[in-house]
Amino acid sequence: MKTLAAALLLSIAVTPAMAGESAGLMLPPGFHATVVADELGAGARHVVVRPNGDLYVSTRKGRDEPKSAGVIALKVGKDQKAVETTHFSEVEGGTGMAIYKNALYVAGGDGIYRFKFQGNALVPTAAPEVVVGDLPKGNMGLAFDGKGGLYVTVRAAGNICVDPKAPKDQKPVGLKPCPLLNNGGGVWRFDAEKVGQKFPADGQQTVTGMRDMMAMAWSKDMNGMYGVMQGRNGTAKLVPGMPEEDTVSEEMHRLDKGTDMGWPYTYYDTGLHARVLAPEYGGDGKMPATEGNYATPVVAFGSHQSPVDLQFYDGKQFPQKYRGGAFVVFQGGSGQEMLPNGRGGYNVTFVPFDKSGKPGTPEIFANNFAGPNPSDRNSGKAAFRPSGVAVAPDGSMYVVDTMKGRLWHIMYDGKN
């Protein structure tokens, strides 16, 4: 299926219909937010919902006091306030997480773990099963295709792929083939229910050319897996005279078998609306990538926004325009320098899709996480940074923050 690339610049326009503040968030008219729980702990990452409405938040070990390591389970009341909160497991990692056949799958530091529940018990009592072991340590995304497949992203162990033996006072030289793509920098498919699988022997690689990706989800409407890759950093600093890197895209792709997203040899430029050669492979910021069967992104978002989660909306509570579309969580750009106008991201962005799989114009859905001023969108100043999103059985939505562990509930009633 051919896809259409749509550029979304760093300063994404807020939809003109944006309504007022609700629990600190800016939302479209008719949407309202409440705080489900506060202070779940720094390092909270993703959130999922069981069919019975129970919530689970993954956390990164060592980012906060020990009690916040592993997984946090929450039971909420009719008022969407947490009435029970329990920490369990010591699975380290806190990135990918999903519910499949009423079991909880969690991406740990070196494997994919499965927690089985006894009936509607909030917390599993049995030890987790290792579904996939021997994975390289690092951020991972996971998703299910509904056809028995478990997909796992394995990041490349680097930002660029240069020859370490090249003189440091000369132009960097990229390695080709890049060794970081050997058992890394791609997506692997495993059996969703089989325990004891080992990476990479028991998996099948389906995608390559990926730098880093935690945002991955299956679209039932489009019958395909999608993901948003975090683009490369420091491109402008590699070669003197290179243009600034504000046009290095965060790329959203349909992850069909055989997809090559082009890293590290290329990147997609939102200003040129084209894939160009990376400077360490002879690029000058404009030279097109003519060699290689590289995929064109479905959507090319602006640079350095840090996409960390992706969710297709399959509920019925939100208006028709949202159904079948994608919500992308941008944690927000980071850096030591405080920029007066802030950095990109710090929001949840919505991408509409039509029935043919063609994307519409992306728009900010939930904003104001960092604060009301542009300068708040700096990693050292932001009040909150969204990191995970989940759709509830009733069609409402949850969003979790990674700074303090605040959890919001967003619902639609059409009232302003």
Strand-pair partners of 75: 84
Res 64: pLDDT: 43
Res 2: pLDDT: 39
Res 138: pLDDT: 84
The burial of 375, by beta-carbon neighbours within 10 Å (0-12 exposed, 13-18 middle, 19 or more buried), is given as middle
Which two three-digit tokens encode residue 83? 């009435």
pLDDT digits (tens, 9 = 90+) for 295-330: 999 999 999 999 999 999 999 999 999 999 999 999
Whether the CB-CB separation of 382 and 332 falls below 8 Å is answered with: yes
Residues 6+ apart with CB under 8 A from 240: none
| Full-model pTM | 0.93
Which two three-digit tokens encode residue 300? 């090319």
Which two three-digit tokens encode residue 249? 């895209």
**Domain edges within the chain:** 7-412
pLDDT digits (tens, 9 = 90+) for 152-209: 999 999 999 999 888 877 888 999 999 999 999 999 999 999 999 999 999 999 999 9
Q: Which residues of the chain have pLDDT under 50?
A: 1-17, 63-67
- The CA-atom distances, in angstroms, between 314 and each of 104, 317, 396 are 19, 10, 10
The SS3 call for residue 31 is strand
Whether the CB-CB separation of 266 and 286 falls below 8 Å is answered with: no
Nearest one of 29, 42, 86 to 406, comparing CA atoms: 42
Domain spanning 7-412, CATH class:
mainly beta
